[in-house]
């Protein structure tokens, strides 16, 4: 019994390490250069590219009219993204947006939720959305 628990924990650790390594590799690839340490914003950009860019566009400029139903509003320059408290953005990311919680009209489909199994730590993503994305980096 103890052996199977240890094996399960080891497998969980390996899968987590592979996931983190993948995000760091994606983040490093997202950088124009390979100088300096990986920053929180770099990790956030990697998460955005892996989880958000399909709908919100490669640079956060939106995906209107490109591939239905994978269209979403632009996040770059959006006052809600820029001004909302981090906790509010985290709530939108974790729980999605449907019905009365929608920020936009029916131009866009509902936003799905991204729970901790899809994005373990959303702080780097929020830092990127409010920081480098808005600067065009």
Mean pLDDT of 21-41: 63
Mean pLDDT of 88-117: 78
C-alpha to C-alpha distance for 67 and 39, rounded to whole angstroms: 32
* Cross-strand partners of 97: 111
| 53-85 pLDDT per residue, tens | 988 988 999 876 666 667 788 899 999 999 999
- What pLDDT does 48 receive? 95
Which one is predicted more confidently, 117 or 11?
117
- What pLDDT does 34 receive? 65
C-alpha to C-alpha distance for 89 and 107, rounded to whole angstroms: 20
Is residue 10 within 8 Å of residue 4, measured between CB atoms? no
Q: What domains are defined for the chain?
A: 2-135 (1.10.760.10)
C-alpha to C-alpha distance for 27 and 86, rounded to whole angstroms: 21
Per-residue tokens: 21: 């390594």
Mean pLDDT of 26-50: 77
Confidence of residue 13 (pLDDT cuts 50, 70, 90): very low
Res 137 pLDDT > 50: yes
Is residue 102 within 8 Å of residue 110, measured between CB atoms? yes
Cis peptide upstream of residue 69 (ω within 30 degrees of 0)? yes
Residue with tokens 């269209």: 71
Res 25 pLDDT > 80: no
C-alpha to C-alpha distance for 113 and 118, rounded to whole angstroms: 9
- What pLDDT does 106 receive? 59
């Amino acid at each position: 019994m103890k052996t199977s628990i240890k094996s399960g924990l080891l497998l969980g650790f390996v899968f987590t390490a592979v996931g983190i390594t993948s995000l760091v590799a994606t983040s490093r690839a997202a950088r124009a250069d390979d100088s300096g340490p990986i920053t929180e914003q770099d990790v956030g950009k990697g998460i955005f590219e892996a989880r958000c860019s399909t709908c919100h566009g490669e640079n956060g400029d939106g995906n209107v009219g490109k591939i239905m139903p994978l269209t979403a509003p632009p996040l770059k320059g959006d006052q809600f993204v820029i001004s909302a408290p981090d906790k509010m953005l985290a709530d939108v990311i974790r729980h999605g947006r449907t019905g009365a919680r929608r920020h936009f009209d029916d131009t866009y489909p509902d936003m799905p939720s991204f729970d901790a199994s899809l994005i373990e730590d959303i702080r780097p993503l929020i830092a990127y959305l409010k920081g480098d994305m808005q600067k065009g980096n």
